[in-house]
A and B are shown apart, each in its own frame.
Chain A
Amino acid sequence: MDVAIIGIGLHPFGRSPTLTGQQQGASAIRTALADAGLTWKDMQFAYGGSQDGGNADALVNELGLTGLQFTNIWNGCATGGSSLHAAYTAIKSGEYDIGVVVGFDKHARGAFNPTPSDWGLDDWYGESGMMLTTQFFAMKFQRYMHDHGISNDSLIRVSEKAFQNGALTPTAWRREALSYEQIANSMMVSNPLRKYMFCSPAEGGAALILCNANIAERYTKKPIYLKAAAVRTRHYGSFEVFSPSQAMNVADAPTVTASNAAFELAGLGPKDVDVMQLQDTDSGTEIIHMAENGFCEHGEQEKLLREGATKINGSMPVNTDGGCLANGEPVGASGLRQVHEICVQLRGEGGARQVSGSPKVGYTHVYGAPGLSGVNILTR
């Protein structure tokens, strides 16, 4: 049995000063329901999550007390991926026919400030100034540049493309294209990563209506099929954020195992994918994720980026809506924003940012602390 996505909704990313995180989640659900021609009463189940926006199941206060099963999911940056995975298995198992996944968030300005004990770490690690995700991503990419011959040029090109795409996306936060020079000369935050190479915590909401594919055509002419949903955590030796030490032998990242599992489930390979969303909390991670997800060899990115391969009109369009760099990262909503954009592209509704040639297969990937990854493969 297949699982279909029949309704999609976003509450615009960025800042919504008059709305709570939960209201932004409810707004995304209303949009997704309208898209599917359904009402809240039709929903048999819901999975949802948020980091700083409060409990997802409290959305029933906004949407109506219908008695549905509503399960809260919290899984770091993979919260959306895990919610979608839960909905996927709920429908595949035959328990439910139709339901919703939702993610939303509302973060304070500036970098995240994690609590060491939440991550199984002692206070000294945070107090001494080593518990910053920005440092980890900088160090991971510093080593990657050393091992695979990638230069700053690649980092700048990823950001340049992100803001170009953001400028074409009405729901994006950063809608102004930035020049190569503006990015190259922006403030150094954590060497080698500069200001315009990092995404920022933000606000927003995203929701998807899913159903048993056998009944999808009752609701839409353009169902999108969720062919695979996989979430994996780290193995011993993978180089991860919030790690006071690291094994000598570096193991494959969880992205690699999640990606392999998803491709196997879908019976597809990287060459089949027409449009993709790769987690880009900074420019360096997008570059690493191109290879970790199997779309190129390690080190090949420099040439691909110089040729414009990941642009909307390139051979492997990445983050056509500007990704996390242009949308910001409301953690709970971010992974579902990726799936939303792939649905838009596969439906052919991308407008100014539509990938040409009627893309058939889409791919989404998230990665987060303390080493987990979620991958989805979608087709039309």
Chain B
Amino acid sequence: MTQQIAIKEGLFTWPAEKPELLGSRCIHCGEAAFPAQNDCRACGSRETEITALGNRGTLWTWTIQSFMPKSPYLSDETPETFKPYGVGYVEMPGGVRVESRFELIEGQVPHIGMSLDLVILPFRTDESGQEIMMFSFKPAEE
């Protein structure tokens, strides 16, 4: 079986039955950040703790990446196999809007306010054959 590894440790709980995004929360002012950071950008405190941000969010704004980006984008695609993807800010129950890719459904135009569920998907395969896993979102099934 192909081995799978997270694109970066600490971005999401995985493997897990219901993966969640992980961020940090300032123990002084309560502001959340993604990805987790040691210092709080809101109040300047150096005391933050890791917190789960949830797995269902609401689309706050969006666009569609219609052409294959150049470096630093790193995928297995070629300009011929490239498929447009959604990019948006997803308002999470943890109290922060997280920038993320989201899956486009054919014939369905994304809209502000739509419900999205977190998914952890294979993004590319590295030189040693491992699948690199990345967080994304897909429209929630109500």
Contact yes or no, A142 B61, CB < 8 A: yes
Least distance between B36 CB and chain A CB atoms (Å): 10
The answer to whether A139 touches B63, judged by C-beta atoms less than 8 angstroms apart, is: yes
B35 touches A122 (CB 8 A): yes
Asked if B60 is at the interface (CB within 8 A of a chain A CB), the reply is yes
Segment at the interface with B among A32-40, A239-247, A253-261:
A239-247
Cβ-defined contact, B99 with A244, below 8 A: yes
Please name all residues of chain A whose beta carbon is closer than 8 Å to the beta carbon of B89 when the two chains form the complex.
139, 245-246
**What bracket does the count of chain B residues touching chain A fall in?**
35 or more
**B7 A245 Cβ-Cβ under 8 A:** no
CB distance from B11 to the nearest CB of A (A): 7
Chain A residues numbered 141-183 whose CB sits less than 8 Å from any CB in chain B:
142-143, 146
- Inter-chain CA distance A243–B73, complex, in Å, is 16
For residue B34, which residue of chain A has the nearest CB? A245
Q: CB-nearest residue of chain A relative to B33?
A: A245
Residues of A within 8 A of B91 (CB): 248
Residue of B nearest to A190 (CB): B63
> Please, which residues of chain B bring their CB within 8 A of the CB of A114?
72
Q: Please name all residues of chain B whose beta carbon is closer than 8 Å to the beta carbon of A248 when the two chains form the complex.
A: 91, 95-97
Q: Are A135 and B72 in contact (CB under 8 A)?
A: no
Distance between Cα atoms of A244 and B21 in the complex (Å): 12
Q: Is B118 an interface residue (CB 8 A)?
A: no
Number of A-B contacts (CB under 8 A): 114
A127 contacts B73, C-beta separation under 8 Å: yes
Chain A minimum-CB-distance residue to B135:
A128
Return the chain B residue nearest A108 by Cβ: B70
Please report which residues of chain B, range 8-52, place their CB below 8 angstroms from some CB of chain A when the two chains form the complex: 8, 11, 23, 31-35, 41-42
A236-B72 CB under 8 A given contacts A130-B99, A190-B64, A190-B65: no
Do residues A135 and B65 form an inter-chain contact, with CB atoms below 8 A?
yes
A128 x B97 contact (CB < 8 A) = no
Q: Digit string of A309-341 for contact with B (CB within 8 Å is 1, else 0)? A: 000000000000000000000000000000000
Does residue A356 face the partner (Cβ distance < 8 Å to B)? no
B74 contact set on A, CB distance < 8 A: 126-127
Cα distance A128–B133 when bound, in Å? Answer: 10
Beta-carbon nearest neighbor of B68 in chain A: A129
CA A143 to CA B87, docked complex, whole Å: 13
Separation in Å of the A251 CB from the closest CB of chain B? 10
Known: A124-B11, A143-B112. A244 touches B72 (CB 8 A): no
A123 at the B interface (CB under 8 A): yes
User: Taking CB as reference atom, which chain B residue is nearest A187?
Assistant: B66
Whether A138 contacts B63 by the Cβ 8 Å rule is: yes
CB distance from A285 to the nearest CB of B (A): 14
Name B73-125 residues within 8 Å CB distance of A.
Answer: 73-75, 85, 87-89, 91, 95-101, 112, 123
For the A-B complex with A123-B8, A124-B11, A245-B97 known, give 5 more contacts whose Cβ atoms are closer than 8 Å.
Answer: A126-B73, A130-B101, A139-B61, A142-B62, A243-B99
Residues of A within 8 A of B (CB): 110-111, 113-116, 122-124, 126-132, 135, 138-140, 142-143, 146, 187-193, 236-237, 243-248
Closest 3 pairs between A and B when the two form their complex, measured CB to CB: A126-B72, A138-B63, A245-B34
A-B contacts, 22 of them at CB < 8 A, read A111-B69, A116-B72, A122-B8, A122-B35, A123-B8, A126-B73, A127-B75, A128-B123, A129-B87, A139-B61, A139-B88, A140-B61, A142-B61, A190-B65, A237-B42, A244-B98, A244-B99, A245-B33, A246-B89, A246-B96, A246-B97, A247-B42
